[in-house]
Structure formats: C-alpha cells, structure tokens
Structure 1
C-alpha cells in the first residue's frame, strides 16, 4: 500500500494542538506516505490545492467551533473548485477523504455530518464513514491522546489506508461527479 499518498490538512488556527496531535496519530496508522499542511501556518493556497490534487487521499482535521468546522477549513473549501461549469479543477472529486473533528464537548459530534455532507455532495469526494470526533475526555492533561482514543484513531487510520487504496483502484468511483 505504500505507493499511495495522503495529505493531512490541519484546520486549526493553532498548529500543534489537539487536532494536530490526532491527525499525526491517524496518518501514522494509515501505512501510506503522508504529508501534513497546517492551515494555521498560512501556506500558499495554490500549493495546498496542488497537494490535494496530487494526493490519493485527504484527511481533514479540524477543531469544532459552534458545531462546525474551523473558519480555515471553510475558507479552504470555499476556494476549492469542484469541476462545475467554467471551473478547470476538481481536486476532491472521487478522492478518498476522512474527517477528524476535535472539540471540548461530546455533543458537538454532529459537526462531522456537516462536513461529510459538503465533501460528499458538493465535491463528490468519497468520505470514510462514520468520521471521527474526539472530545476533551479523549486527551490527557498534556494534550496527548489517551490509550483508548489512540486505539480508536489508529483503527480509523488503518481503515483509511485500505479505503484510499480501494477508491483509487476503482475508475467508476473516482469518476462520480457532484450532485449538481
């Protein structure tokens, strides 16, 4: 599986926090070649788009604000073309994607559904379900993942490694277009 590549998008304005910690553990478990782009570090938007286009899979890790993804993730998606009329690019179309949300309260887990809907319906990305939401109780006082959370993240990472390979191997799946 190591011939596939995955780009991890860290959507926190504070790189190195809980979302980054969880993303690193997730990517480590995929068994694939990975790259991380922290949006909070202000990367060149064109370089981010090229990295998404070149990757076989994309993992979006974001803190949850008001039961939604971070503004940095929203801005990234607002500036990502989807192959609609007049657009030259569709970097997420048919791409294996995964969602990793972090938040303080467990009841904000529904933010995963909001992002999944946008990725799957609007961009025609293939999203690993059910998504992953980690709340404050999943992290220790030092910001590291607890043992149970680390096992959960690793299970999702391994599944994403296999999912990415399966999606890339299917021309019929990768050819699917957005709903409209």
Structure 2
C-alpha cells in the first residue's frame, strides 16, 4: 500500500510538511510505503494516480487551502471513465496561525469528496502555533494525534481496498 503526502505550501517545507510527515509515520508503522512530495514536483500527478491513499496538506490562507494546492487540484484531469482520485482514501491536514481558521479544512475536504469522489477521512486535522514548539517542531501530543490519523487512514484504505462497492464509487458528473 502506497500512501502519498502532498505538501501544498508555496513556501515550504515548513510546519505543514512536518505534520504531514507525522501522519505518514502513523501509516508507515502499519506497514504502508509512504512518500512525501511537494505540490510542484514534476511527477506529482503520476504519483497521485498510483497512490492508494493521499494526505493533502496546506497552510491556511484566507480560511482556505493555498493557491498552490488549488492549482495542483485544477491540473488533475477528471477523466469520466477513469477519474484518478475516485474512491481513493484521502485526508486533509492544514496549518495556520490562529485557532479561528480550523473550518478552512472543510473547503478542501468538500472539493476532494464532491468533485473528485475521494473517501475523505473525518475529521480533518488543523494545527496552529500552539501545536508547535518555539523552533517550529511538532509537539509530542500533536505528533501522536497525527500518527493516530495516519493509522486511521491506513485502516480506511484497507477497508476500501477490501470492498467492491467502495472501490467502484465515482464522482457524479
């Protein structure tokens, strides 16, 4: 099982990449092969298509995900016969400076769920400055929460792979 982490930060890697890595670590502890890519990696679209699950991470700007991640999502062709993210388990991880922007995760989760037809793990994760130490490193309790989320993504991916019905769901177009 391949679980891919996408860092949608236009300035990273930074705090967003750090929490994505912790989520991936939780999946790796279950036996998943994990990989981290930036939104602008040359082979990112191919790797998304090949992944069994995807962690979409972004800093929060204006209560939404970054324009860099939005641009990546716009480049994913939603082929009606073979949509690349259809039924793919995914999770949303976002960072921001204030606890007030936690609902920004829902915009991205709704796009993934509705437009692409992914199986989005709920709840999404949102972390602000209190979740990091003075050096910008992930605090231990936050890292533990991320790893549990990674384990849950691995379990969701296992369930989707085992289910004929869940694997055949596609976005309505």
Match of 1:33 in 2: 33
Cα deviation for residue 89 of structure 1 reads 4.5
Q: C-alpha distance in 2, partners of 1:26/1:14?
A: 20
Match of 2:53 in 1: 57
In the alignment, is residue 17 of structure 1 matched against residue 14 of structure 2? yes
Flag structure 1 segments of 5+ consecutive residues without an equivalent: none
1:103-146: CA deviations, max 9, x gaps? 11111011111111110111100000011111111001111111
In the alignment, is residue 137 of structure 1 matched against residue 130 of structure 2? yes
Residues 144-159 of structure 1: matches in 2 within 5 Å? Answer: 144-159=137-152
RMSD: 1.2
SS in 1 for 2:4: strand
1:149-176: CA deviations, max 9, x gaps? 1121111111111111111222211211
Runs of 4+ aligned residues of structure 1 deviating over 2 Å after TM superposition are none
Cα deviation for residue 83 of structure 1 reads 2.6
Cα deviation for residue 79 of structure 1 reads 1.1
Do the aligned partners of 1:81 and 1:89 also contact (CA within 8 Å) in 2?
no
Flag structure 2 segments of 5+ consecutive residues without an equivalent: none
Length-normalised TM-score, structure 2 = 0.93
Q: C-alpha distance in 1, partners of 2:2/2:10?
A: 25
Do the aligned partners of 1:49 and 1:91 also contact (CA within 8 Å) in 2?
no
Number of residue pairs matched by the alignment? 170
Q: C-alpha distance in 2, partners of 1:89/1:8?
A: 22
Cα deviation for residue 179 of structure 1 reads 2.8
Do the aligned partners of 2:83 and 2:170 also contact (CA within 8 Å) in 1?
no
Residues 1-180 of structure 1: matches in 2 within 5 Å? Answer: 4-31=1-28, 32-39=32-39, 42-44=40-42, 47-84=43-80, 89-180=82-173
Length-normalised TM-score, structure 1 = 0.90
SS in 2 for 1:36: strand
